[in-house]
Amino acid sequence: AALAHLLGKTVQGEMLEVVEKAYPDCQTLPGWEDPQLFIQCFVWILKGVVMRGDLLQVQDCAVKVLCKLASSQSGLECHAAEGFGLIMEDNKASPLSVTYHRESPLWKQRFYSQSCPALLAELSPREEEGKA
């Protein structure tokens, strides 16, 4: 139930199915039950699937999820999806080279300190709604 709220009902089922097919042992990943760690694992799982060449399989749901991530604040306004190995071309996700210059420890640190918390705030269920 927590994952459904976290990822959104329209994406959660399809995405988890894709991830589980590509990585059958994904539920043993550290943080799978923890929302914040799960988001981090989730992004890297997606990147791994794409870089392995299974782009068509994850393209639609990857775009839906990753394109919700906030833009980088590094000056170039690089989209978070692009920084994690995806780039939008004609509304489709295309893989980038693993040597792409935006993949750096500093960029990843910026993602986890800025974009990731913003994404969690957007996707997390509102407690006030449940108490109304």
In a domain, 132, yes or no: no
The residue assigned the tokens 């210059």 is 101
In a domain, 131, yes or no: no
In a domain, 41, yes or no: yes
Integer Cα distance of 131 and 22 in angstroms: 38
**pLDDT for position 101:** 42
In a domain, 23, yes or no: yes
Average pLDDT, the chain: 48
pLDDT, tens digit (0-9, with 9 covering 90-100), for 11-60: 445 555 555 555 555 555 444 454 454 555 566 555 555 555 554 444 44
**pLDDT for position 41:** 53
Report how many domains make up the chain. Answer: 1
In a domain, 80, yes or no: yes
For 110, the domain range is 2-124
The residue ranking higher by pLDDT, 5 or 78, is 5
CA 131 to chain centre: 29
In a domain, 7, yes or no: yes
**pLDDT for position 74:** 33
The residue ranking higher by pLDDT, 126 or 99, is 126
